[in-house]
Structure 1
Amino acid sequence: MNILQNIDNWDKNAVAWINAHHTAWLDSLMVFASKTNVWIPFYAILLILLLRIHKQKSVFFVLGIALVITLADQTTSSLMKPFFERLRPCHWQGWQVPLHLPDGCGGQYGFASSHAANTFGLAMFWWLWLKKFYRMAWLLFLWAGVVSFSRVYLAAHYPTDVLVGAMLGAFFAWAVFKFPEKVLKV
């Protein structure tokens, strides 16, 4: 058995175990956490906080976040998912026990997770930009972790889909943050 088969087996076992431990209240919480539109008030609060802290410089932060999210989302959705064609857990037919799917299934392919890439990209960019606000940063990483876990709980992604998405989002945040400094010598 090669390493990719071992990872695939571990992923499937992890999804099966997590999915088997579902509860009604956790179903509701995970569906809520996974919906992108419910986070709009949270984003609005972050934007207001940012405007109060940095005023005119906020435009650079907003442009940076837009670039990070675009890179993370398009890389995962438009490049990786069609290239790797890894079925989401909810589309894989080999389960011995049917999965519990409180939020349906979604698209066919899941590698890598756009939710994880986008949320960890936002959290990392915020942390890099506003290092003196560490308390806010750990809350954003906690939020990104909950959103990412919700994707595994809902059987929309395997743990490695989420892990790779999170690393990709964090990398894009770092690259967008460092680009002016390293390339433009600002």
Structure 2
Amino acid sequence: MIRFIHKYSSICHFILASLPLLTALAVIFCIFGNEAAATAWFKAHAQANPDYKFIAKIITDFGNIVFYPVYLWFLITGIRQRKKSRLRFALVYLAVQIIVSVITVRFLKIAIGRPRPGEGTFFEPYSTRGAYNSLPSGHTCEVYGASLPLVLRYKTLLLTLFLGLFAATVALSRIYLTWHHPSDVFCGWMLGSVAGFAIHLFSKEN
């Protein structure tokens, strides 16, 4: 059993880090049944509880930013201390995030043209209007693209749990503020997972 866990530790930590968000999304769908009902409830709750909305706004605005100093530290220490593994980790992170969380996400948002919650039901493919750039969630993609490489690099239980909960909180704040549908967040998680694994694999030394 121990050998099995060790062999598949990356997958185990990935699942553990993803579990908070996937569980929350499953609960949302079980309780509300559809995304329209979920959006209506979260919108009403946020309006009735401005303090919660304020906290969610802080989380959604600064959740991804907190990772920037972390990867900047890898970059600076990699250069100063001539540690190639840290430098490679930081540079691969930057390259993959630009390709996936910026270029790919932006392309999909425009190409799909899904309306954000409350903006209607009809898609407008190839629309550059922000109101029709809902799918996928860029915040979710970015936060998992930043947190999963750290999870897979260190593979420690406490760090995995902390980053998993933190990333889920950032992702769920997008739903709570009714800026994204739950399925937008789910798709953002999938893209972020691809980015996270890509960063982990390409930054490993041969």
TM-score range, shorter chain: 0.7 to 0.9
For residue 85 of structure 1, report the CA deviation from its aligned partner.
Answer: 0.5
- Asked if the contact 2:89/2:199 (under 8 Å) is kept, the reply is no
For residue 19 of structure 1, report the CA deviation from its aligned partner.
Answer: 1.8
Are 1:62 and 2:90 matched, yes or no?
Answer: yes
Q: 1:156 to 1:122 in 2, by over 3 A?
A: same
Name the residue aligned to 1:72.
Answer: 101
Amino acid at match of 2:91: L
Are 1:17 and 2:46 matched, yes or no?
Answer: no
Pairs within 5 Å for 1:10-159? 10-22=34-46, 23-36=49-62, 40=65, 43-44=68-69, 47-48=72-73, 56=83, 57-70=85-98, 71-77=100-106, 79-92=107-120, 107-108=130-131, 109-131=133-155, 133-159=156-182
Q: 1:130 to 1:149 in 2, by over 3 A?
A: same
Across the aligned residues of Structure 1 and Structure 2, the Cα RMSD in angstroms comes to 3.1
Unaligned runs of 5+ in 2: 1-28, 123-128
TM-score, normalisation: structure 2: 0.67
- Asked if the contact 1:68/1:169 (under 8 Å) is kept, the reply is no
Unaligned runs of 5+ in 1: 1-5, 95-105
Moved over 3 A (4+): 38-43, 45-53
Name the residue aligned to 2:9.
Answer: none
Deviations 1:25-45 (A, max 9, x none): 111101111114x75455425
Q: Residue 157 of structure 1: SS of its match in structure 2?
A: coil
TM-score, normalisation: structure 1: 0.73
